[in-house]
Amino acid sequence: MQKLWDNYRYLFLRRFTQISLLVLYFGANAWGWSLLMGNLSSSKILGVIPMSDPYAALQMLMAGAVLAGDLLIGVVVVTLFYLLIGGRAFCSWVCPINMITDAANFLRRKLEIDRIQGVKQPASRNIRYWVLGLSLIISFIMGVTAFEFISPISMVHRGIVFGLGFGWAAMLIIFLFDLFVLKNGWCGHICPLGGFYSLLGKFSLIKVHHSEENCTLCMKCKDVCPEKQVLHMIGKESLPVLSGECSNCARCIEVCDDDALRFSIRELALQRKTGE
Amino acid sequence: MSESRPEIKKKTKKQPISDRRRFILNMARGAGIATIGGFLWSAHLDEVTASELVLRPPAALKEDDFLKTCIKCGLCVEACPYDTLLLAKPGDNKPLGTPYFVPRDVPCYMCPDIPCVPVCPTGALDVASVTTNDKLDINISDMGVAVVDDESCIAFWGIQCDACYRACPLFGTAITIEYQQNERTGKHAFMKPIVHADACTGCGMCEHACVTEKPAIFILPRETATGKAGSYYIKGWDKSDEKRLEDATEIETVTELSKESATDSLNGSLEDLY
């Protein structure tokens, strides 16, 4: 039991966060709870504190909308949290798509699909930044929020809270895409919201830290990591994971049997390194 | 044998690609793929935002502005006590995630405190547009306008029905009954419902109440339901409308035919008319 907890504690906490958020949002619409109303695009805590998706607001700005007071406060709240504290934590702790892509990735490992496709990834992880840029350009030209009209994230989340319609098709497409077409395809390559939070969260405080002296080079962390490239220092150097593409999912920490990975406050880790 | 073999052209040895070339080619490739994706994406957006027949919550901005300002959070939907408002799902054929209502199912009951509007975080539902003298006023909201199909409205057949008239929350203002003799029977009256578009808020209570199988009175977005006479018609019997003439200036239209005087032009050969 202890071992189960050790190996899955963060995964458990993440699923707990993701599902409780869904339940709270769902309860607000279905039973009139007021703890968390709205959805991931924009919500209110207890009807007072607004929270808004900064990427959606950016598209609105590009589309030529006038941004109202409540929205701006909400954007500041969310931006500050991820910018200063959470990093790209939205992707692995909040986003409902994460459960779908994690399931696809899990099945992919179990079925050993990588062995028929080879190790080499056929697509660049920078596609998301192109999609991000493109969404802003299209928002500007078409005068609508480009990604918000196709986003499977809000489609699924809205679907769970307000009624799904054909939204299940979007879920299935992402699942099959990640399972059969491209490993970590949606979250790790295409999703512009992930790209946005990668840029926003680059300088956040919470980072995973690697201690090279403990590492036995088992590479379990790299196996399980959805953004492998951020773990380039494994077994080479004691460094924090500085790339914004790390979503702080902490799977690497819990699969490590040698205590070579842990969460740390970024600044402290840096200071200690320079002090040595 | 070996000497008679035709000489194989020596392949020019390929230079390893330079970093600069690789970078430029990669960028060009990215830009090219982005262009393909961009056009597909734009075409899709153009299609999905083209739906004109969507009824929005009260105080919604004009459709164009609404689509760029609504963040699709559903707070208005949650605020509505009658479950009138819905968020467009995939498959509803409405701009995805935006709030709308179907009055035949659930109309807008025109709450005096308009709970759906002040909760909007983006101003896509504009409080100012439903405010008179610093007070919320649902009666000036504009969700659409009711239209009567006089072919299927049984009141126009001569059957007595005033369901829409009775259901209208702006009783006697937005819908009035016009009495007219029924010459077919000679002793009955038609009691025809007439919608007054300037007063109608488009709440849809009439559509909800209509007794015919498919409603004979229904709500359309105002843009769709109304025509426009154009500014060059002036109501001579309306003092305020006639005021527009005060600043009017003469506009002389010059065409090919204006070269000659009107009489000369009419007496001349008609060639230049064709």
Q: What is the pLDDT of residues B49-84, one digit of tens each?
A: 887 789 999 999 999 899 989 999 999 999 999 999
* CA-based nearest residue to A225, from A72, A75, A109: A109
Q: Which of A92-96, B146-150, B227-231 has the lowest average pLDDT?
A: B227-231
Q: Residue A212: how many CA atoms within 13 Å on its side-chain side?
A: 12
Query: Is residue B3 predicted with pLDDT exceeding 60?
Result: no
pLDDT band at A78 (very low <50, low <70, confident <90, very high): very high
Mean pLDDT of chain A: 88
How is chain A split into domains, by residue range?
2-199, 205-275
**Assigned architecture for domain A205-275:** 2-Layer Sandwich (3.30)
**Which residues of chain B neighbour A44 with C-beta distances below 8 Å?**
75, 119, 121
Handedness of CA A40, B75, B52, B223 (dihedral sign): negative
| pLDDT score of B229 more than 50 | yes
Render pLDDT for A136-149 as a digit per residue (tens, 0 to 9). Answer: 999 999 999 999 99
Closest Cα in chain A to B118: A70
Higher pLDDT, B128 or A47: B128
> What is the rounded average pLDDT of the residues A184-199?
93
Burial class (CB in 10 A: 0-12, 13-18, 19+), A247: buried
> Could you tell me the pTM of the whole model?
0.83
Q: Which of A108-112, A132-136, A223-227 has the highest mean pLDDT?
A: A132-136
Comparison of pLDDT for B109 and B234, the residue scoring more: B109
**Per-residue model confidence (pLDDT) at position A202:** 87
Highest averaged pLDDT of the listed ranges A157-166, A186-195, B231-240: A186-195
End-to-end CA distance of chain B: 85
Please give the CATH topology (third level) of the domain spanning B144-224.
Alpha-Beta Plaits (3.30.70)
Distance (Å) of CA A214 to CA A258, B31, B153, B188: 6, 44, 83, 99
Chain A residues 64-93 with a CB less than 8 Å from chain B: 64-68, 70-71, 74
CB contact under 8 Å between B34 and A142, yes or no, is no
A54 → chain B, closest CA residue:
B71
What 3-state DSSP class applies to A50? strand
Q: Residue A276 has what pLDDT?
A: 45
Instruction: Report whether pLDDT(B262) > 50.
Output: yes
pLDDT in tens, A218-275: 988 888 899 988 998 888 888 888 888 999 999 999 888 888 888 887 655 565 556 5
A-interface mutation test, from B33, B73, B76, B94, most A Cβ less than 10 A away = B73
Report pLDDT for A273.
57
Architecture of domain B39-141: 2-Layer Sandwich (3.30)
Q: What average pLDDT does chain B have?
A: 88
Burial grade of A65 (CB within 10 A; 0-12, 13-18, 19 or more): buried
Pick from A52, A149, A165: CB nearest B45:
A149
Residues of B in contact with A61 (CB under 8 A): none
CA count, 13 A, side-chain hemisphere, A126 = 7
Q: Where in chain B is the domain with CATH 3.30.70.20?
A: 144-224
Average pLDDT over residues B244-272: 75
Query: Interface pTM (ipTM) of the complex?
Result: 0.86
B225-242: average pLDDT: 87
CB–CB of B197/B143 below 8 Å? no
